[in-house]
């Protein structure tokens, strides 16, 4: 299968045609090899218009959602970004191309380890990954120019607001466990936040101190 042809079609048909117009985002999405981030048996679906399972009941986000969230941060290349929910590492790779440095937190260590290996293979050394509860952010490295949360929160965790630079943007899904609204909050000079609703979405839950409780099983 020619992945570069599939990737170009993905950019034109799923992203540009749906209104993603930031050329830097489109360029990044046309370069990052999404097929390396999905399970080997699903590589032929890597450029389809869908989220896909990555194990541990988690998913790699739909390409359109990765593009739309990246575009919502309005990156120019010099930013330090906090990402919550590394998952497969695909969104981290796209941010690695678009920003100066990416700090990514994943609560499931096997996923974080796998993402690290793929990012190393691609020599994306500006991505730092740590295992832990991302609902409390990354205090040692704050403030950030952008925060992207790839899991659905019941409400906006206050730590994210505190860890955002003036002018910085927080993009995150907020709602119940089944569906959410993608919000963008921009920190203004007077310390208040401009709040925008971008679109409806469906993410796996953000689990942690300032998120949902893990579901009890067994």
Task: Give me the residues that bind ligand SAM (CB under 6 A), please.
Answer: 58-61, 66, 84-85, 87-88, 90-91, 105-108, 111, 133-135, 150-151, 203-204, 206-208, 211
What is the helix (H) or strand (E) element at residue 135, kind and residue range?
none
Query: Which of 97/204 has CB closer to ligand SAM?
Result: 204
Write down the H helix ranges in 74-171. Answer: 90-98, 109-121, 158-162
Name the minimum Å distance from CB 4 to ligand SAM: 20
Strand, coil or helix: what is 164?
strand
Query: Which of 132/167 has CB closer to ligand SAM?
Result: 132
Name the minimum Å distance from CB 188 to ligand SAM: 27
Task: State yes or no: is 61 an active-site residue.
Answer: yes
Name the minimum Å distance from CB 119 to ligand SAM: 12
Name the minimum Å distance from CB 199 to ligand SAM: 16
Tokens of 2: 């020619």
Helix 63-72 to helix 90-98 angle, to the nearest 10 degrees?
40
- Relative to beta strand 144-149, strand 127-131 is unpaired
Which listed residue (21, 48, 61, 88) is catalytic?
61
Q: CA separation (Å) from 128 to 48, 79, 94, 189?
A: 28, 14, 14, 29
**What is the number of the residue whose Cβ is closest to ligand SAM?**
85
Q: CA separation (Å) from 56 to 6, 181, 213?
A: 27, 24, 16
Query: Which of 26/102 has CB closer to ligand SAM?
Result: 102
Strand, coil or helix: what is 128?
strand
Query: Which of 105/127 has CB closer to ligand SAM?
Result: 105
Q: Which residues are catalytic?
A: 61
């Amino acid at each position: 299968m020619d992945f570069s042809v599939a990737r170009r079609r993905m950019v034109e048909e799923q992203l540009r045609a749906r209104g993603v117009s930031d050329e830097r985002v489109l360029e990044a999405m046309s370069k990052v090899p999404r097929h390396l981030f999905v399970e080997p048996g699903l590589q032929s679906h890597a450029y389809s218009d869908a989220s896909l399972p990555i194990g541990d009941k988690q998913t790699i986000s739909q390409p359109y959602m990765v593009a739309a969230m990246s575009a919502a941060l309005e990156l120019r290349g010099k930013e330090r970004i906090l990402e919550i929910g590394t998952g497969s590492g695909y969104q981290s790779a796209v941010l690695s191309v678009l920003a100066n440095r990416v700090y990514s937190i994943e609560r499931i260590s096997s996923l974080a380890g796998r993402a690290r290996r793929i990012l190393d293979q691609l020599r994306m050394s500006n991505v730092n990954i740590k295992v832990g509860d991302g609902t409390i952010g990354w205090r040692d490295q704050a403030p950030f120019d952008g925060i992207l949360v790839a899991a659905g929160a019941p409400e906006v965790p206050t730590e994210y607001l505190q860890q955002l630079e003036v002018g910085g943007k927080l993009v995150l899904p907020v709602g119940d466990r089944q569906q959410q609204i993608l919000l963008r909050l921009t920190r203004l000079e007077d310390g208040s936040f401009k709040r925008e609703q971008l679109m409806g979405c469906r993410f796996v839950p953000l689990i942690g101190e300032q998120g949902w409780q893990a579901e009890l099983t067994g």
